[in-house]
């Protein structure tokens, strides 16, 4: 990758944030001459973002640390349409009240990572594209902006091309998304002098469309940067696990479980994740290349501490680490959640009742597949039954999910 002068771009390169740029040299020149505003957009499709969105949030944090202004665009309007990028089908249509509720919940996340205080010279700002898209009439929008979009060109963008290649339905509703996101960039340039948009690699076509529209409408010089798709060493998309999404909102995932996610990072992903998701100096991270064994495990705890502290605060990070060490190193149970299960319950049924499996058949597969332990002892008989004897039992599914079954139980084979 080309050498750059801007310290901000240098840090993004060093840490692995940059995948594509529309004009790296032009952006580098701009960033060395002035402080700019840049934005990244998030639709309000759920009550929380997950760690798959964390790269974009960390970029906004670093942007602000380097003196530039971060703008978070929450897409109440575009949520109503649905982005075809990286999707296999039409997005679920949400009601206005659901979108508004999601927007409020998502907004709270950014206050953890960015400075919104009035005395901050480059304070972060949250905007909503319903404020401008909601008042545009369809006919006027088509007349003024539709003429600048080529269907031929739109069909070449990966987000559209992939859907067509998979022969999955691409609705006209979704096809409009690219136009609306392009207009968002033009509007933010007009109202906030925003000159840079960040997004995931699947947003490349949408970003380029906004840059081209800005050039055609107002001769604006705009720029775009995309981040790489992050997968774990076993090929799983970042943010997704077998147990579900790793949410950034504590109401949807506890700080303890968030800490555990980072603690369970594989050896192969450790340094990459430290560069992307912590603020540990890059030279220090590079010095860890030859660590192994216990030193690596200690480093994983440090990753978990730093990542959890950014998202949930230092107190919650410390509490999560202490709870984890108490559970897995001191072998105690009082820090784990407790679930009451009636005497005479089959183990597979207790797993379902505890929320660790969705069905009896799924729970049985976990047992047969050697994925279930009671008091750290492997259970392989799908017909194990739990009966009363005045004890608590630690139930573990894999390495990450643990709770206490308040039976008081004895385990009998039926």
Cα separation, 339 vs 401, in Å, equals: 13
Domain 7-227 class in CATH: alpha beta
DSSP letter (8 states) at residue 53 = G
Residue 228 contacts residue 16 (beta carbons within 8 Å): yes
| Positions of the chain with pLDDT under 50 | 390, 409-414
Q: Is residue 236 a contact partner of residue 264, using CB atoms and an 8 Å limit? A: no
pTM of the model: 0.77
State the Cα–Cα distance between residues 110 and 36, nearest whole angstrom.
19
Residue 83: predicted pLDDT: 63
Tell the CATH topology of 254-328.
Answer: Tyrosyl-Transfer RNA Synthetase (1.10.240)
90: left (phi over 0), alpha (psi -120 to 50) or beta: beta
* Domain regions of the chain by residue span: 7-227, 254-328, 338-413
CATH for the 338-413 domain, from 1.10.1740.10, 1.10.1040.10, 3.10.290.10, 3.40.50.720: 3.10.290.10
What is the Cα gyration radius of the chain?
24
CA distance 306 to 274: 9
Sign of the C-alpha dihedral computed for residues 252, 256, 259 and 265 taken in this order: negative
């Amino acid at each position: 990758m080309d050498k750059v002068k801007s310290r901000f771009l240098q840090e993004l390169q060093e840490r692995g944030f940059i995948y594509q740029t529309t004009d790296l040299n032009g952006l580098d020149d701009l960033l060395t001459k002035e402080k700019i505003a840049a934005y990244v957009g998030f639709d309000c499709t759920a009550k929380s973002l997950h760690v798959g969105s964390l790269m974009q949030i960390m970029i906004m944090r670093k942007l602000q640390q380097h003196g530039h202004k971060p703008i978070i665009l929450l897409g109440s309007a575009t949520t109503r349409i649905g982005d075809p990028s990286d999707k296999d089908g039409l997005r679920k249509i949400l009601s206005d009240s659901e979108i508004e509720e999601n927007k409020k919940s998502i907004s709270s996340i950014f206050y953890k990572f960015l400075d919104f205080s009035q005395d901050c010279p480059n304070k972060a700002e949250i905007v909503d594209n319903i404020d401008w898209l909601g008042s545009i009439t369809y006919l006027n929008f088509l007349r003024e902006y539709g003429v600048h979009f080529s269907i031929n060109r739109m069909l070449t963008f990966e987000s559209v091309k992939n859907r067509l290649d998979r022969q999955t339905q691409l609705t006209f509703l979704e096809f409009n998304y690219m136009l609306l996101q392009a207009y968002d960039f033009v509007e933010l340039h007009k109202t906030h002098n925003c000159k840079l948009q960040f997004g995931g690699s699947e947003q490349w076509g949408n970003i380029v469309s906004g840059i081209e529209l800005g050039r055609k409408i107002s001769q604006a010089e705009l720029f775009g940067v995309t981040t790489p798709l992050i997968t774990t060493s076993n090929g799983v998309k970042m943010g997704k696990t077998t147990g579900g999404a790793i949410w950034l909102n504590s109401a949807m995932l506890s700080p303890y479980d968030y800490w555990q996610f980072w603690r369970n990072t594989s050896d192969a992903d450790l340094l990459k994740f430290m560069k992307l998701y912590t603020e540990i100096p890059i030279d220090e991270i590079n010095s860890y290349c030859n660590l192994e064994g216990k030193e690596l495990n200690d480093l994983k705890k440090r990753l978990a501490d730093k990542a959890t502290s950014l998202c949930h605060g230092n107190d919650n990070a410390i509490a999560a680490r202490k709870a984890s060490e108490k559970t897995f190193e001191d072998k105690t149970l009082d820090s784990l959640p407790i679930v009451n299960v009636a005497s005479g319950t089959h183990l597979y049924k207790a797993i379902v009742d505890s929320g660790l499996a969705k069905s009896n058949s799924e729970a049985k597969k976990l047992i047969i597949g050697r994925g279930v332990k009671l008091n750290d002892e492997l259970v392989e008989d799908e017909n194990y039954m739990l009966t009363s004897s005045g004890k608590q039992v630690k139930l573990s599914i894999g390495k990450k999910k643990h709770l206490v079954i308040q039976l008081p139980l004895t385990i009998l084979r039926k």
